Amino acid sequence: MTAQQREEINVAGAAPALSHYADAVRFGDLLFVSGVVALDATGAIIGEGDVVRQTEAIFQSLEAILAAAGAGFADVLKVTVLLIDVEHRTLINPVRQRYFGAHRPASTLIGVKALALPEILVEIEAVVGLPNR
């Protein structure tokens, strides 16, 4: 693998990383977006106790990451949604639909016992097909 094949993408003003990772990594025409959670630029929780507000914040962050890579929601091939309570799926679906519009990515929903911080209710990662440059 050469440096030309792999590019790390970090978005200025995004939430600080909770560990050792990039916001996204481009490899060829694919972009792998790390799990996004509802943290502001200082690392504070956005929408504590509100899964819909957290999901909205996640999609806003995801939008910035996609834009930094020259992509948009229509380019998302797959999302993985991690939820503390899988019953919240029906609450967050309208947010997803608003951002994706007519485009429907492949999707996996996983119910989890905990995420990186106890206040985090949802985390979303994505795989993106980058438009021809």
Give the residues across from 83 on adjacent strands: 111, 122
Question: Is the pLDDT reported for residue 56 higher than 60?
Answer: yes
User: Taking 60 as the threshold, does the pLDDT of residue 93 lie above it?
Assistant: yes
pLDDT score recorded for residue 133: 56
* pLDDT for 3: 55
Q: Say if residues 35 and 82 touch (Cβ distance below 8 Å).
A: yes
Instruction: Give 20's Cβ-side CA count (13 Å radius).
Output: 0
Which segments within 46-115 are labelled E, that is strand? 76-83, 106-111
| Separation of alpha carbons 109 and 14, rounded Å | 24
Q: Where are the domains of the chain?
A: 6-129
Grouping H, G, I as helix, E, B as strand and the rest as coil, residue 51 is helix
CATH number of 6-129: 3.30.1330.40
The predicted structure's pLDDT at residue 113 = 97
